[in-house]
Amino acid sequence: MPIDPIGAEVHGIDLSAQNPPPPEVIEALEREMAQRGFLVFKNEKQLTEQDFLRASSWWGGRDLHSTHGVHPATPGGNRHIFRLSNDPRHGIPGVGPQWHNDGSFNTDTFSHAGYHIIRPAEKGGGTCFAHQGAAFDALPLQRQAFWRRLSSVNSASGVVHPAVHKHPISGRLSLWLHLGMTGAVIEKRQDEEGFRLLDADELKQLCHEYNDILDAGLSNGYAIAFEYQERDCIFIDNLAVAHRATPEAHRHADEQGLRILHRSTVRGMKDLAPDFGLPLRLRIRGPSPFGEGVWQAGGVGFRWDDDIAMQN
């Protein structure tokens, strides 16, 4: 059942089943995730951690790929669960306030990610999702052409990704940028050989443009501020939708009610490789190979707005 304007609800599939649904069902659900961005599985009973992780590996690379820290309150200390909360005693607070895709520091990123609500906060606090294919379509033609010449460099790993890629399932041209972990953006020169780096003003403008075009989806029908209901388990196509926490999700439990969310991450299928012969990875901690411009290693990368929270 489609959710307006993106995402879809799935009823009647038991995520606690030992065996996955038949391949044609998995394939149909993956196609739906690619097109609508994410699926919300409505569960009649609360899933165990094992159920959630087992169902996570039904998708994409069919295996978990876990790179995060493990909070002490994580059940069984399970390293595949990234436990998030608005109370630091219950989980890691403040993660992901700006638009991003999970695993951007890997060459293959994550193909899918799971979000299992353990406890929704009484006063709400959800996740925003924006369809990156629709966001590309919403850009003016001349900006589309500019974005297609760009590649981002991850500030933590130096991994290089195209700023526009063709989605492997939907075939849609899709934007891609991490607003909390980008150390540089490289432009392929338009009418000559070679590359240049965006300078601070240009990169600031680019990040704002990305933020604005995804936010615009909230009123223009390609993004949603999703509120979790009890027992909801979401799986997203991490190449089709960007996400960020809503501001309410990070409001402290004393004010908002306690919120606990478990995240899983699924191994990518193939490298999200840059075009123009650029390598999969550059030495972001070394000197810039492209001359002047922003080239910034570590932390949250380039700060494109002084007044916002950034945390990975």
Residues that bind Fe ion (CB under 5 A): 96, 102
- Give Dmax (Cα) for the chain: 60
Residue 246 CB contacts under 8 Å (≥ 6 apart), including other chains: 124, 125, 126, 127, 128, 225
Give me the count of residues in the chain. 312
Give the Cα separation of 300 and 312 in Å (integer): 7
Backbone angles phi, psi at 270, to 5 degrees: -155, 165
**Is the separation of the CB atoms in 184 and 284 below 8 Å?**
yes
Of 172 and 263, the one with the shorter C-beta distance to Fe ion is: 263
Of 32 and 102, the one with the shorter C-beta distance to Fe ion is: 102
Q: Minimum CB separation from Fe ion for residue 88, in Å?
A: 18
Residue that the structure tokens 């009647």 belong to: 12
Q: Minimum CB separation from Fe ion for residue 16, in Å?
A: 25
The residue sitting closest to Fe ion, measured at its beta carbon, is 96
Give the Cα separation of 261 and 203 in Å (integer): 32
Of 70 and 139, the one with the shorter C-beta distance to Fe ion is: 70
Residue 50 CB contacts under 8 Å (≥ 6 apart), including other chains: none
Of 198 and 214, the one with the shorter C-beta distance to Fe ion is: 214
Of 264 and 282, the one with the shorter C-beta distance to Fe ion is: 264
Q: Minimum CB separation from Fe ion for residue 114, in Å?
A: 11
Residue 42 CB contacts under 8 Å (≥ 6 apart), including other chains: 9, 10, 11, 229, 231, 232
Q: Minimum CB separation from Fe ion for residue 250, in Å?
A: 13
**Is the separation of the CB atoms in 90 and 258 below 8 Å?**
yes
Of 36 and 68, the one with the shorter C-beta distance to Fe ion is: 68
Q: Minimum CB separation from Fe ion for residue 261, in Å?
A: 10
Q: Minimum CB separation from Fe ion for residue 245, in Å?
A: 8
